[in-house]
Chains A and B, each alone.
Chain A
Amino acid sequence: MSKKVLLVDDAPILRLLLKDILEKNGYEVVAECSNGNEAVAKFKELRPDLVTLDIIMPEKTGLEALGEILKIDPNARIIMVTAIEDRESLMKALRSGANDYILKPFEEGRVISAVKGTLDE
């Protein structure tokens, strides 16, 4: 059975890019969210195997959503998505419990190795 992924990014164009990569590699994208509030609600409802979480988003940031999702399920598998130069937020996320990260622009190989590695942990 294919693993279920929840995509969280405020940019529809990046959700589309990431969805294409994941579906091409056999993963099922169960829902897409455009902010941290939606992400927490969808996580509670769907309990996906993996969440990809953008850091800079309106309403609730990826860092805030990360903390709330880990409170709901401390074993949640979460990969942070960030822009190339946003290292500070990325380090905060990894220290707060994110499993891995992928950088924009997406490299298909790196996305799949992060997803596989995180799900195999």
Chain B
Amino acid sequence: MAINKALKFVAQLSIDKASQALSRFIRVGAKIEMDDIYMADISEITGKLSAESDEVVGAFIDLGGDVKFKFLFFVNAQDSCLLADLILRRPVGTTTTYDQYTSSAVQEIANILSCGIASVFTSDFQLGITISPPTVIHDFVGTVFLEYFMSIAVEQNEVMMIETTFKIVQQNINCHMFIIPDSKTEKVLSYISNTL
């Protein structure tokens, strides 16, 4: 599928909504930037990422209905402690180890972000979207990606990756969000982008 300018616009709109929702949630500025949107070969990208050994906390969500996406949000395990402090409105640095609250912070941020993305399609394009409860995983980044791709690989050889990073103001937290539409959804996205 061709990644055209209009498709990038739809992706950017989704990311901006997610960015606003996240800022409201943690009560400090959060800016999500779209690093890249591209078609990637699953076997190639899986091989590359499986070598990554940073410990992260990630959350997967399935967006279903008229458009279907696989959503992944992850953050360095140490930074998940900072996110928990921000949400609980505690002084940053209070939480020092990974526990149920850090896991839950990642889970809830993933929820907020995916709801923000879904709202673009429900409000702006009148499509129906369902959102699954998040699955949280604490592991090496390569393992998290393998899990993420596993359910897609059987259906597709190539996937559209919308890759982002974002910064949370006053805290040096690097988070990552990936959105992969399924093959039918790519056609819907293509149709939407051609109508813009």
Q: Which residues of B contact A14 (CB under 8 A)?
A: 104, 108
Chain A CB within 8 A of B47 CB? no
Query: 0/1 per residue, B21-64, Cβ < 8 Å to A?
Result: 10011110000000000000000000000000000000000000
- A84 x B24 contact (CB < 8 A): yes
Q: Which of A16, A87, A88 contacts B128 (CB 8 A)?
A: A88
Chain B CB within 8 A of A22 CB? no
- A13 x B108 contact (CB < 8 A): yes
- A86 x B104 contact (CB < 8 A): no
Query: A56 CA to B100 CA in the complex, in Å?
Result: 18
Q: Which residues of B contact A12 (CB under 8 A)?
A: 100-101, 104
Q: Which residues of B contact A16 (CB under 8 A)?
A: 88, 101
Residue tally, chain B, CB below 8 Å to A: 27
Tally inter-chain residue pairs, CB-CB below 8 A.
Answer: 62
Chain A CB within 8 A of B189 CB? no
Contact residue range for chain A? 10 to 19
- B111 x A56 contact (CB < 8 A): yes
Binding site for A on B (CB under 8 A): 17, 21, 24-27, 84, 87-88, 100-101, 104-105, 107-108, 111-112, 115-116, 118-119, 122-123, 128, 131-133
Q: 15 A–B contact pairs at CB < 8 A?
A: A11-B104, A11-B107, A13-B84, A13-B87, A13-B88, A13-B101, A14-B104, A16-B101, A56-B111, A85-B116, A86-B115, A86-B118, A87-B119, A104-B25, A105-B26
Binding site for B on A (CB under 8 A): 10-14, 16-17, 56-58, 83-88, 104-105
